[in-house]
Structure 1
Amino acid sequence: MSEPQTLVQAALNRLSARLGSGLADAAAGFAVLAQDAPERLRQEWDLFKEEVELEAQRLEHGEQDQPAADSSTASSSPPADPQQQIDQLRAQVTRLARRLEEPA
């Protein structure tokens, strides 16, 4: 058997190697997140601009009777106007895409 001092030194070496590996993995994960952040922000900004444009179009056409915040609370019957139906479907796809992109 080895001397106790050698065993302690070996244990410390292994612990520092494991901790260093864990820190390196965490740093690599953070680097990936930081690299993806600008693209995600750009996507969110583009999505927001599209939603604002759709809302502006809806307001211009005088369709103020439905709530603008969330069309999921609207009635289950399809709207009479095809453009309104398309807008609602786009909003629903947008919400679903956001849910899929959220980290678990």
Structure 2
Amino acid sequence: MPSPDALIRATMHRLAARLGHGLAEAAAEVAVIAQDAPERLRREWDLFQDEVRAEAERLDSDGQEPSDPAQPAGPVGDVDPQQQIDGLRARVAELSRLMEETP
């Protein structure tokens, strides 16, 4: 059986090796993310611009502005709140799907 001193040194060596390996993996992941970041930002920027254009077209056709930018414009009394919630959930799901597709 190894001595307690040898066990402690062996434990320290193995922890250092595992942590070093973990840090190398983390650094590699960060490098991959950094490489993909410009493309992802470009796609998000393009998506944002498309949303702004669509909103501008909708405002032009409706001739009115929403009182709260987070809420869609339109007659609030005519829209069922559950439909609004369902629409928002669908939009969040679509955005999540787009984010997950990003390599």
User: Which TM class, normalised by the smaller chain length?
Assistant: 0.5 to 0.7
Write the letter of the residue equivalent to 1:28: A
Deviation by residue 1:18-52 (Cα, 9 ceiling, x = unmatched): 11122122222222222221111111100111111
**What SS does structure 1 have at the residue aligned with 2:47?**
helix
**Cα drift, residue 14 of structure 1:** 0.6
- Provide TM-score, normalisation by structure 1: 0.62
Tell me the CA shift for residue 93 of structure 1.
Answer: 6.6
Q: Which residue of 1 aligns with 2:30?
A: 30
Structure 1 spans left out of the alignment, 5+ residues: 77-88
Q: CA deviation at 1:13?
A: 0.8
Tell me the distance in 1 between the aligned counterparts of 2:35 and 2:16: 28
> Quick one: distance in 2 between partners of 1:92 and 1:64?
24
TM-score by length of 2: 0.62
TM superposition shift of 1:66: 6.0
Q: Which residue of 2 aligns with 1:6?
A: 6
| CA distance 1:93–1:35, change in 2 (3 Å) | farther
C-alpha distance 5-92 of structure 1, shift in aligned 2 (>3 A): closer
Secondary structure of 2:45's partner? Answer: helix
1:36-47 → structure 2 map (5 Å cutoff): 36-47=36-47
- How much does 1:2 deviate? 2.5
Percent identity between matched residues is 47
- What is the aligned residue count? 90
Deviation at 1:65, TM superposition (A): 6.5
Are the structure 2 counterparts of residues 48 and 65 from structure 1 closer, same or farther at C-alpha, using a change threshold of 3 Å?
closer
- Structure 2 unaligned segments of length 5 or more: list them: 81-86
Aligned to 1:49: 49
How far did 1:92 drift?
8.1
